[in-house]
Amino acid sequence: MELFPVEGPWPGRLAVCLRPRSGTWLEDDILALRAAGHDVLVSALTPEEIVSLELGPVPDACSRHGLEFVNVPVGNLQVPNPAVVLPHLQSWHGHLSAGRGVAIHCWASVGRSPTLVAATLAFGGIPVEEAWNRIELSRGRQVPDTLEQRRWVEQFFARG
């Protein structure tokens, strides 16, 4: 499983990651994630995408290997619901502050997961534009997929 670590203000590890592979490779990907020091795997996939990618067994695989699995479904090319994502941001901030690792994925790990990582960084006090720069440097490409995703993070943290 490929990880794209993003430097944050906490002792914990934050990363955008590629989605786990299904089938016989799933266990290997979860073990690799654990070996890299990650304790929480966050998926932004929708229920339909989980079925399509045959990733239904991911929560059980995570549980078997001591990872917490969190699903925060966000439609492709869309943005999260602020009321839904805020408790997750608080939780991820707590994990990262305690030195734990959080890895976040979506379908291609270019739009939704970088959006959630940028929001996590901003929640931790990193200026939004700097958050995007850090993710792009780590990911090695321009993110996110849409201007709406970029603006969502800016607007979410402009509310105070």
| pLDDT tens for each residue of 20-37 | 999 999 999 999 999 999
CA distances from 77 to 29, 92, 95, 108, 113 (A): 25, 23, 27, 11, 11
Average pLDDT for the chain: 97
56: its two tokens = 């239904």
Nearest to 76 by CA among 92, 53, 95: 53
d(CA 37, CA 7): 14
The structural domains of the chain, ordered by start, are 3-158 (3.90.190.10)
Q: Residue 66's beta-bridge partner residues? A: none
Q: Sign (positive/negative) of CA torsion 89, 10, 106, 118?
A: positive
Q: Sign (positive/negative) of CA torsion 124, 135, 51, 78?
A: positive
Q: What's the pLDDT at 159?
A: 61
Q: What's the pLDDT at 1?
A: 87
d(CA 52, CA 56): 9
d(CA 19, CA 49): 11
Q: What is the pTM of this model?
A: 0.97
CA distances from 84 to 60, 88, 90, 132, 147 (A): 23, 8, 11, 22, 21
pLDDT digits (tens, 9 = 90+) for 112-125: 999 999 999 999 99
